[in-house]
A and B are shown apart, each in its own frame.
Chain A
Amino acid sequence: MVTLLAIPLFIILGIFQSAVVSRLPLLHGTADLILLVVIAWALQERVRSAWQWALIAGLVVGFLTALNFIIPLAGYFFVTGLALFLRQRIWQVPLLAMLTVTFVGTLFIDITTAIYLNVFGTSLPILETLNLIILPGTILNLILSIPVYALVKDLAEWVYPEEIDI
């Protein structure tokens, strides 16, 4: 049931990402709202459906983008694994985990995309790509990570209400 909730959520987020967020660049980098939601969801303590949400998010983004769908799928699986790993290690400071995974995850996805495009014939100058796309995109993701975490935390508490022992 919780997994099914991800389908309309990521479809709406995908629409919002392509219609609004992708039109608000910093230099030439943009935020990735869906990545932030995947990370924030995986960091929630009571969540058990992080991998399923990453799969649905990857498929939605893969449908929207002209990139091979393997790129966003692999990226979201990577950040989910990293988030689950850090969830057990930095559980006292979840925001720190959110910022860490956002930073590493954004770099991973952007560098993977750049390498994929270079391998398949699109020449991308390294310094320009780093200065104009990767770093500004990372900054935007870091800025949005905290409000997204707060919203997803509320969603998680609604989906997985805390059990009270009487």
Chain B
Amino acid sequence: MIFLAISGYFTPVTQVLLSPIVGAQTWISEQFLSIQNFLSTPRDVTELLQRNAELEAEVASLETQVIELQQQLTEYQILSSLLDFARAYPEYEYVGASVIGRDPSPFLQYVIINRGSDDGLRRGMTVVTQQGLVGRVSQVTAASANVQLITDPAMSINVQLQPSRDRAVLSGTITGDLILEYIPQAANVNPGDLVLSSGFGGNYPPNILIGQVTSIRSLDIDLFQSGSVQPVVDFEQLEIVLVITNFQPIDLEPLLPPTAEP
């Protein structure tokens, strides 16, 4: 019998006998696995849901970090530009300040900054950004200051045009635009010319960029030419400014001749 089994003569018999046994075992095993999966699925789903929630929270946290880092990057870029400006004009001393609000009145073009007399600010100090002239300090408290922008309708600045080197007066308007007035008729001014502070009057340091001429109106019947200027500073997006602390506006009143009394 053993010799016949070793020789393989019993193979068909074993196949016939074993195949139903194997089939039954396979079926039982499958059913068991199905039942086992069915019983363990809720726990898996719960774990998956929990893991999903954890990952979503982590994603939200990372997104917040990304936004914060982007803001810091923007702030760094602004500060870096301001530092470049400060290095370009090393003769002045600066105090950096953030713009924290605007004047509640829509008639005025003022901003509020978070530096004040405690930081060395005084009334009349010039305010700039890396792009150019912003305005001047008009009111100061201990920890904040009001800055009158060059676009304010009450603002007038004596300017010099490049390359003609002619002088004119730059004024603000209620819409925030800048207009050039009192340009001599003989002046050769063209759109694209640069507008810089002239230093005349002693209110602002000279040669600070203000903007670019966009249009000129010249009529023979007028005494002066006039024009409009596109400011280099975007006053709607002001975030950080520099206050020049070692340039004091000059008070010209003692130099003016006294008015004759009637």
Binding site for B on A (CB under 8 A): 14-15, 17-19, 21-23, 25, 28-30, 32, 34, 61, 64-67, 110, 113-114, 117, 121-125, 128-129, 132-133, 137
Contact of A132 among B101, B139, B154, B175 (CB under 8 A): B175
Confirm or deny: B103 has a beta carbon within 8 angstroms of a beta carbon on chain A: yes
The reply on B102 being an interface residue by CB < 8 A is yes
- Check if A66 sits within 8 Å of B174, measured CB to CB: no
A72 to B112 Cα, complex, angstroms: 18
18 further A-B contacts with Cβ under 8 Å, apart from A18-B101, A129-B107, A129-B174, are A18-B100, A18-B103, A22-B101, A22-B104, A22-B106, A23-B102, A29-B106, A30-B104, A30-B106, A61-B104, A64-B112, A65-B108, A66-B110, A67-B107, A113-B107, A121-B154, A124-B174, A128-B174
Q: Is A114's CB under 8 angstroms from B154's CB?
A: no
Report if B138 contacts A (CB, 8 A): yes
The interface residues of chain B lying within 8 Å CB-to-CB of A121 are 154
Question: Which residues between 82 and 117 of chain B lie within 8 Å of chain A, taking CB atoms?
Answer: 100-108, 110, 112
Q: Which of A22, A30, A124, A129 has the most CB of B within 10 A?
A: A22
A67 to chain B: closest residue by CB: B105
Question: Which 8 A-B residue pairs are closest in the complex by CB-CB distance?
Answer: A18-B101, A22-B102, A122-B154, A19-B101, A30-B106, A66-B110, A122-B153, A133-B106
Contacts of B176 in A (CB 8 A): 28
Whole-angstrom distance from the CB of B141 to the nearest CB of chain A? 9
Q: Could you list 15 examples of A-B contacts with CB < 8 Å? A: A14-B104, A18-B102, A28-B176, A32-B104, A34-B104, A64-B101, A64-B103, A64-B112, A66-B105, A66-B139, A117-B107, A117-B154, A122-B153, A124-B107, A128-B174
**Known contacts A121-B154, A123-B153: does B174 contact A28 (CB below 8 Å)?**
yes
Q: Interface code B173-215, partner A: CB below 8 Å = 1, 0 otherwise? A: 0111000000000000000000000000000000000000000
User: Known: A66-B139, A123-B153. Is A133-B104 also a contact (CB below 8 A)?
Assistant: no
Residues of B with C-beta under 8 A to A137? 106
Q: B174 contacts A18, CB within 8 Å? A: no
Minimum distance in angstroms from B212 CB to a CB of chain A: 23
Name the residue of chain B whose CB is nearest to the CB of A113.
Answer: B107
The prevalent SS among residues of A at the interface is helix
Q: A113-B107, A117-B107, A124-B174 are in contact. Are A66 and B100 (CB under 8 A)?
A: no
In the assembled complex, B126 has its CB within 8 A of some CB on chain A: no
Nearest residue in A to B101 (C-beta to C-beta)? Answer: A18
B228 at the interface (CB under 8 A from A): no
> Is the CB of B146 closer than 8 A to any CB of chain A?
yes
Min CB distance, B177 to chain A, in Å? Answer: 10
For residue B153, which residues in chain A have a CB less than 8 angstroms away from its CB?
Answer: 117, 122-124
Closest to B172 in A: A122
Chain A contacts of B112 at CB under 8 A?
18, 64
Q: Are B101 and A67 in contact (CB under 8 A)?
A: no
A133–B103 contact, CB under 8 A?
no
A70 to chain B, nearest CB (A): 13
Q: A123-B153, A132-B175 are in contact. Are A66 and B108 (CB under 8 A)?
A: yes
Q: Report the bound CA distance from A110 to B174 in whole Å.
A: 13
Which residues of chain A come closer than 8 Å to B104, judged between CB atoms? Answer: 14, 17-18, 21-22, 30, 32, 34, 61, 64-65
CB nearest to A133 among chain B residues: B106
A139→B187 CA distance, assembly (Å): 45
> Which residues between 224 and 254 of chain B lie within 8 Å of chain A, taking CB atoms?
none
Asked whether any CB of chain A lies closer than 8 Å to the CB of B148, the reply is yes
A67/B174 contact (C-beta < 8 A), A19-B100, A23-B102, A121-B154 known? no
Assess the B101–A65 pair: CB atoms within 8 A.
no
Chain B neighbourhood of A64, CB < 8 A: 101, 103-104, 112
CA distance A52 to B232 in the complex (A): 45
Report B-chain residues with C-beta under 8 Å of the C-beta of A30: 104, 106
